[in-house]
Amino acid sequence: MPSDRPLRIGTRASKLARWQSDWVAAELTRLGSRVEIVEITTRGDVEQLGPVAGIGVQGVFTKEIQAAVLAGEVDLAVHSLKDLPTEQVSGLVLAATPPRENVADALVTNAASSLGELPAGARIGTGSLRRRAQVLHLRPDLLVAGIRGNVDTRLRKLDDGEFDAIILAAAGLTRLGWASRIAEHLEPPRMLPAPGQGSLALECRADDLATQAIVGQLNDPATRLGIVAERTVLAALHGGCSAPIAAWGRLDGDLLRVDGLVASLDGREVLRASTLVELAAEADDNAARLAAAEQAGHDVAATLRSLGAEAIILAARQG
Protein backbone atom coordinates (compact mmCIF):
# COMPACT_ATOMS: atom_id res chain seq x y z
CA MET A 1 0.00 0.00 0.00
CA PRO A 2 1.53 3.36 -1.00
CA SER A 3 2.33 5.49 2.03
CA ASP A 4 0.76 8.59 0.45
CA ARG A 5 -2.80 7.28 0.62
CA PRO A 6 -5.01 6.02 3.44
CA LEU A 7 -5.92 2.41 4.07
CA ARG A 8 -9.32 1.96 2.43
CA ILE A 9 -11.92 0.02 4.43
CA GLY A 10 -14.81 -1.61 2.55
CA THR A 11 -18.09 -2.05 4.40
CA ARG A 12 -21.84 -2.33 4.03
CA ALA A 13 -23.76 0.89 4.66
CA SER A 14 -26.12 -0.29 7.41
CA LYS A 15 -25.91 1.39 10.81
CA LEU A 16 -24.40 -1.71 12.40
CA ALA A 17 -21.90 -2.25 9.58
CA ARG A 18 -20.86 1.41 9.80
CA TRP A 19 -20.48 1.17 13.57
CA GLN A 20 -18.21 -1.83 13.09
CA SER A 21 -16.12 -0.23 10.34
CA ASP A 22 -15.95 3.07 12.24
CA TRP A 23 -14.67 1.16 15.29
CA VAL A 24 -11.99 -0.55 13.19
CA ALA A 25 -11.09 2.81 11.61
CA ALA A 26 -10.74 4.42 15.04
CA GLU A 27 -8.53 1.59 16.31
CA LEU A 28 -6.29 1.73 13.24
CA THR A 29 -6.08 5.52 13.55
CA ARG A 30 -5.06 5.12 17.18
CA LEU A 31 -2.28 2.81 15.99
CA GLY A 32 -1.03 5.46 13.57
CA SER A 33 -2.72 4.61 10.26
CA ARG A 34 -4.64 6.93 7.96
CA VAL A 35 -7.96 5.37 6.94
CA GLU A 36 -10.85 5.95 4.56
CA ILE A 37 -14.22 4.15 4.62
CA VAL A 38 -15.83 3.03 1.36
CA GLU A 39 -19.48 1.90 1.46
CA ILE A 40 -20.40 -1.06 -0.76
CA THR A 41 -23.89 -2.43 -1.49
CA THR A 42 -24.24 -6.22 -1.27
CA ARG A 43 -26.83 -8.55 -2.75
CA GLY A 44 -28.26 -9.17 0.70
CA ASP A 45 -28.89 -5.42 1.07
CA VAL A 46 -30.73 -5.23 -2.26
CA GLU A 47 -32.87 -8.40 -2.01
CA GLN A 48 -34.95 -7.77 1.10
CA LEU A 49 -37.91 -10.07 0.37
CA GLY A 50 -37.96 -13.58 1.83
CA PRO A 51 -35.37 -15.34 4.00
CA VAL A 52 -31.65 -14.97 3.34
CA ALA A 53 -31.44 -18.72 2.72
CA GLY A 54 -33.93 -18.28 -0.10
CA ILE A 55 -31.49 -16.16 -2.12
CA GLY A 56 -29.69 -19.41 -2.86
CA VAL A 57 -26.05 -18.32 -2.65
CA GLN A 58 -23.45 -18.08 0.09
CA GLY A 59 -21.95 -14.75 1.09
CA VAL A 60 -24.92 -12.54 0.23
CA PHE A 61 -23.57 -9.87 2.61
CA THR A 62 -19.87 -10.32 1.77
CA LYS A 63 -19.24 -11.19 -1.89
CA GLU A 64 -19.31 -7.67 -3.32
CA ILE A 65 -16.99 -6.37 -0.60
CA GLN A 66 -14.59 -9.27 -1.13
CA ALA A 67 -14.61 -8.56 -4.88
CA ALA A 68 -13.68 -4.94 -4.18
CA VAL A 69 -10.73 -6.09 -2.06
CA LEU A 70 -9.53 -8.48 -4.76
CA ALA A 71 -9.86 -5.74 -7.40
CA GLY A 72 -7.77 -3.35 -5.33
CA GLU A 73 -10.65 -0.91 -4.89
CA VAL A 74 -10.33 -1.24 -1.10
CA ASP A 75 -7.58 -2.68 1.06
CA LEU A 76 -9.59 -4.16 3.91
CA ALA A 77 -13.06 -5.65 4.32
CA VAL A 78 -14.93 -5.47 7.62
CA HIS A 79 -17.60 -8.17 7.99
CA SER A 80 -19.81 -9.51 10.73
CA LEU A 81 -18.03 -12.83 11.03
CA LYS A 82 -21.25 -14.85 11.15
CA ASP A 83 -21.99 -13.57 7.60
CA LEU A 84 -18.66 -14.81 6.24
CA PRO A 85 -18.87 -18.19 4.45
CA THR A 86 -16.56 -20.86 5.83
CA GLU A 87 -14.95 -21.52 2.44
CA GLN A 88 -11.91 -19.26 2.07
CA VAL A 89 -11.93 -17.07 -1.05
CA SER A 90 -8.76 -17.53 -3.10
CA GLY A 91 -6.53 -14.49 -2.83
CA LEU A 92 -7.97 -13.31 0.50
CA VAL A 93 -6.92 -13.92 4.09
CA LEU A 94 -8.61 -13.39 7.44
CA ALA A 95 -6.12 -10.91 8.87
CA ALA A 96 -7.71 -10.33 12.28
CA THR A 97 -10.59 -11.17 14.58
CA PRO A 98 -10.82 -8.39 17.20
CA PRO A 99 -12.09 -9.07 20.73
CA ARG A 100 -15.56 -10.56 20.68
CA GLU A 101 -18.76 -8.95 21.99
CA ASN A 102 -21.44 -10.90 23.84
CA VAL A 103 -22.28 -14.04 21.82
CA ALA A 104 -25.85 -14.31 23.11
CA ASP A 105 -29.11 -13.83 21.27
CA ALA A 106 -31.44 -11.22 22.72
CA LEU A 107 -35.21 -11.14 23.09
CA VAL A 108 -36.68 -7.71 22.33
CA THR A 109 -40.32 -7.24 23.20
CA ASN A 110 -42.76 -4.68 24.55
CA ALA A 111 -45.11 -7.40 25.75
CA ALA A 112 -43.18 -9.31 28.42
CA SER A 113 -39.96 -9.41 30.42
CA SER A 114 -38.80 -12.83 29.24
CA LEU A 115 -39.37 -15.55 26.66
CA GLY A 116 -41.20 -17.61 29.28
CA GLU A 117 -43.68 -14.81 29.96
CA LEU A 118 -44.79 -14.31 26.36
CA PRO A 119 -48.41 -15.42 25.89
CA ALA A 120 -49.17 -18.56 23.90
CA GLY A 121 -49.46 -17.79 20.22
CA ALA A 122 -47.27 -14.69 20.42
CA ARG A 123 -45.72 -13.78 17.06
CA ILE A 124 -41.90 -13.84 17.12
CA GLY A 125 -39.83 -12.35 14.31
CA THR A 126 -36.45 -13.76 13.26
CA GLY A 127 -34.63 -14.20 9.97
CA SER A 128 -32.54 -17.06 11.37
CA LEU A 129 -33.44 -20.73 11.02
CA ARG A 130 -31.15 -21.43 13.98
CA ARG A 131 -33.08 -19.04 16.22
CA ARG A 132 -36.41 -20.29 14.89
CA ALA A 133 -35.60 -23.91 15.75
CA GLN A 134 -34.28 -23.17 19.23
CA VAL A 135 -37.16 -20.85 20.14
CA LEU A 136 -39.70 -23.46 19.05
CA HIS A 137 -37.85 -26.07 21.08
CA LEU A 138 -38.16 -23.85 24.15
CA ARG A 139 -41.68 -22.58 23.38
CA PRO A 140 -43.50 -24.74 20.80
CA ASP A 141 -46.68 -22.74 21.45
CA LEU A 142 -45.25 -19.58 19.86
CA LEU A 143 -45.66 -18.49 16.25
CA VAL A 144 -42.28 -17.79 14.60
CA ALA A 145 -42.33 -15.70 11.43
CA GLY A 146 -39.61 -14.42 9.12
CA ILE A 147 -38.32 -10.87 9.31
CA ARG A 148 -35.72 -9.04 7.19
CA GLY A 149 -34.05 -5.66 7.38
CA ASN A 150 -31.38 -3.90 9.40
CA VAL A 151 -31.59 -3.69 13.20
CA ASP A 152 -33.45 -0.35 13.21
CA THR A 153 -35.92 -1.65 10.60
CA ARG A 154 -36.68 -4.73 12.69
CA LEU A 155 -37.15 -2.65 15.84
CA ARG A 156 -39.58 -0.39 13.97
CA LYS A 157 -41.59 -3.41 12.78
CA LEU A 158 -41.80 -4.58 16.40
CA ASP A 159 -42.91 -1.16 17.64
CA ASP A 160 -45.47 -0.91 14.82
CA GLY A 161 -47.11 -4.08 16.10
CA GLU A 162 -46.14 -6.47 13.30
CA PHE A 163 -44.57 -8.76 15.92
CA ASP A 164 -44.96 -9.37 19.63
CA ALA A 165 -41.22 -9.94 19.96
CA ILE A 166 -38.10 -10.23 17.84
CA ILE A 167 -34.79 -11.95 18.41
CA LEU A 168 -31.53 -10.23 17.48
CA ALA A 169 -27.86 -10.59 18.35
CA ALA A 170 -27.12 -8.92 21.67
CA ALA A 171 -23.81 -7.70 20.22
CA GLY A 172 -25.47 -5.60 17.52
CA LEU A 173 -27.92 -4.02 19.93
CA THR A 174 -25.13 -3.19 22.36
CA ARG A 175 -22.89 -1.71 19.66
CA LEU A 176 -25.69 0.53 18.42
CA GLY A 177 -26.57 1.75 21.91
CA TRP A 178 -29.86 -0.15 22.12
CA ALA A 179 -28.98 -2.55 24.94
CA SER A 180 -31.85 -1.06 26.95
CA ARG A 181 -34.28 -2.63 24.44
CA ILE A 182 -33.20 -6.13 25.48
CA ALA A 183 -35.87 -7.83 27.60
CA GLU A 184 -33.83 -11.01 28.11
CA HIS A 185 -30.44 -12.34 27.09
CA LEU A 186 -30.91 -15.88 25.76
CA GLU A 187 -27.50 -16.95 26.96
CA PRO A 188 -25.82 -20.18 25.90
CA PRO A 189 -26.07 -23.06 26.51
CA ARG A 190 -29.82 -22.39 26.74
CA MET A 191 -29.66 -20.99 23.21
CA LEU A 192 -26.45 -21.54 21.24
CA PRO A 193 -25.23 -18.75 18.93
CA ALA A 194 -24.42 -18.75 15.25
CA PRO A 195 -20.76 -19.58 14.52
CA GLY A 196 -18.87 -16.30 14.77
CA GLN A 197 -21.74 -14.35 16.36
CA GLY A 198 -20.51 -11.22 18.12
CA SER A 199 -17.20 -11.28 16.21
CA LEU A 200 -15.79 -9.14 13.43
CA ALA A 201 -13.81 -10.46 10.47
CA LEU A 202 -11.10 -8.24 8.98
CA GLU A 203 -10.18 -9.57 5.55
CA CYS A 204 -7.51 -8.38 3.12
CA ARG A 205 -5.54 -9.62 0.10
CA ALA A 206 -3.23 -12.54 0.77
CA ASP A 207 -0.35 -10.77 -0.99
CA ASP A 208 -0.86 -7.46 0.85
CA LEU A 209 1.58 -8.11 3.67
CA ALA A 210 1.71 -4.44 4.69
CA THR A 211 -2.03 -4.29 5.38
CA GLN A 212 -1.92 -7.66 7.12
CA ALA A 213 0.77 -6.37 9.48
CA ILE A 214 -1.24 -3.25 10.31
CA VAL A 215 -4.58 -5.02 10.75
CA GLY A 216 -3.03 -7.95 12.61
CA GLN A 217 -2.50 -5.66 15.59
CA LEU A 218 -6.26 -5.85 16.22
CA ASN A 219 -6.35 -9.66 16.37
CA ASP A 220 -7.46 -11.28 19.62
CA PRO A 221 -6.03 -14.84 19.90
CA ALA A 222 -8.73 -16.07 22.29
CA THR A 223 -11.49 -14.91 19.95
CA ARG A 224 -9.75 -16.54 16.99
CA LEU A 225 -9.54 -19.91 18.74
CA GLY A 226 -13.23 -19.93 19.57
CA ILE A 227 -14.40 -18.95 16.09
CA VAL A 228 -12.03 -21.42 14.38
CA ALA A 229 -13.69 -24.22 16.34
CA GLU A 230 -17.20 -22.91 15.62
CA ARG A 231 -16.64 -22.38 11.90
CA THR A 232 -15.08 -25.84 11.63
CA VAL A 233 -18.28 -27.35 13.07
CA LEU A 234 -20.29 -25.46 10.44
CA ALA A 235 -17.97 -26.36 7.57
CA ALA A 236 -17.71 -30.03 8.56
CA LEU A 237 -21.50 -30.33 8.58
CA HIS A 238 -21.68 -28.55 5.21
CA GLY A 239 -23.99 -26.03 6.82
CA GLY A 240 -24.54 -22.37 6.12
CA CYS A 241 -27.62 -20.20 6.41
CA SER A 242 -29.86 -22.97 5.06
CA ALA A 243 -29.75 -25.21 8.14
CA PRO A 244 -30.29 -24.68 11.90
CA ILE A 245 -26.71 -25.16 13.11
CA ALA A 246 -25.19 -23.48 16.16
CA ALA A 247 -21.76 -23.58 17.76
CA TRP A 248 -20.08 -21.96 20.72
CA GLY A 249 -16.33 -22.05 21.36
CA ARG A 250 -14.68 -20.26 24.26
CA LEU A 251 -11.33 -20.31 26.02
CA ASP A 252 -11.02 -21.03 29.73
CA GLY A 253 -7.33 -20.69 30.53
CA ASP A 254 -5.66 -23.34 28.39
CA LEU A 255 -8.93 -25.25 27.94
CA LEU A 256 -11.10 -24.79 24.87
CA ARG A 257 -14.75 -25.67 25.35
CA VAL A 258 -16.83 -26.26 22.22
CA ASP A 259 -20.57 -26.93 22.00
CA GLY A 260 -22.49 -27.68 18.82
CA LEU A 261 -26.15 -28.06 17.96
CA VAL A 262 -28.27 -29.18 15.02
CA ALA A 263 -32.04 -28.84 15.18
CA SER A 264 -35.07 -29.52 13.05
CA LEU A 265 -36.96 -26.47 11.78
CA ASP A 266 -39.90 -27.18 14.09
CA GLY A 267 -37.60 -27.50 17.11
CA ARG A 268 -38.79 -31.00 17.96
CA GLU A 269 -35.42 -32.64 17.32
CA VAL A 270 -32.35 -31.05 18.90
CA LEU A 271 -28.97 -32.75 18.76
CA ARG A 272 -26.16 -31.50 21.00
CA ALA A 273 -22.48 -32.36 21.27
CA SER A 274 -19.56 -30.88 23.17
CA THR A 275 -15.87 -31.34 23.76
CA LEU A 276 -13.17 -29.98 26.04
CA VAL A 277 -9.62 -29.70 24.69
CA GLU A 278 -6.42 -28.79 26.49
CA LEU A 279 -4.38 -26.45 24.29
CA ALA A 280 -0.62 -26.05 24.11
CA ALA A 281 0.35 -23.78 27.00
CA GLU A 282 3.06 -21.92 25.11
CA ALA A 283 1.64 -18.60 23.97
CA ASP A 284 3.91 -18.55 20.92
CA ASP A 285 2.77 -21.99 19.74
CA ASN A 286 -0.16 -20.39 17.95
CA ALA A 287 -0.23 -22.85 15.04
CA ALA A 288 -0.62 -25.82 17.39
CA ARG A 289 -3.40 -24.09 19.32
CA LEU A 290 -5.28 -23.24 16.12
CA ALA A 291 -4.89 -26.81 14.88
CA ALA A 292 -6.29 -28.11 18.17
CA ALA A 293 -9.24 -25.72 17.90
CA GLU A 294 -9.94 -26.95 14.38
CA GLN A 295 -9.77 -30.57 15.51
CA ALA A 296 -12.18 -29.81 18.36
CA GLY A 297 -14.65 -28.49 15.80
CA HIS A 298 -14.27 -31.63 13.71
CA ASP A 299 -14.84 -33.79 16.80
CA VAL A 300 -18.08 -31.99 17.68
CA ALA A 301 -19.30 -32.24 14.08
CA ALA A 302 -18.47 -35.97 13.99
CA THR A 303 -20.49 -36.57 17.16
CA LEU A 304 -23.45 -34.65 15.73
CA ARG A 305 -23.26 -36.69 12.53
CA SER A 306 -23.28 -39.90 14.57
CA LEU A 307 -26.47 -38.70 16.25
CA GLY A 308 -28.23 -38.16 12.92
CA ALA A 309 -27.40 -34.54 12.04
CA GLU A 310 -27.12 -35.12 8.30
CA ALA A 311 -30.74 -36.23 7.96
CA ILE A 312 -31.95 -33.20 9.92
CA ILE A 313 -29.84 -30.80 7.81
CA LEU A 314 -31.11 -32.36 4.58
CA ALA A 315 -34.73 -32.07 5.74
CA ALA A 316 -34.17 -28.41 6.67
CA ARG A 317 -32.78 -27.63 3.24
CA GLN A 318 -35.77 -29.24 1.59
CA GLY A 319 -38.03 -26.99 3.62
Q: What is the DSSP string of 115-161?
A: GGGSPTT-EEE-S-HHHHHHHHHH-TTSEEE---S-HHHHHHHHHTT
CATH number of the 105-186 domain = 3.40.190.10
The question of whether 83 is a catalytic residue gets the answer yes
Model confidence, pTM: 0.91
Show me where the domains of the chain are located: 1-98+199-219, 105-186, 220-319
User: What does the alpha-carbon distance between residue 219 and residue 193 come to, in Å, rounded to a whole number?
Assistant: 21
- Do the domains spanning 105-186 and 220-319 agree at the CATH topology level? no
Interatomic CA distance for residues 72 and 52, integer angstroms: 28
Amino acid residing at 7: L
Sorting pLDDT into bands at 50, 70 and 90, what band is 55? very low
State the DSSP code for 250.
E
Q: Read off the pLDDT of residues 68-126 as tens digits, 9 standing for 90 and up.
A: 999 999 999 999 999 899 998 999 999 999 999 999 999 999 999 999 999 999 999 99
Question: Which of the pair, 103 or 59, is modelled with greater confidence?
Answer: 103
- Cα separation, 193 vs 131, in Å, equals 8
CATH topology for 1-98+199-219 is D-Maltodextrin-Binding Protein; domain 2 (3.40.190)
Which one from 75, 83, 164, 259 is the annotated catalytic residue? 83
- pLDDT tens for each residue of 216-255: 999 999 999 999 999 999 999 988 777 899 999 999 988 9
Architecture of domain 220-319: 2-Layer Sandwich (3.30)
Cis status of the peptide bond prior to 2, with omega within 30 of 0: no
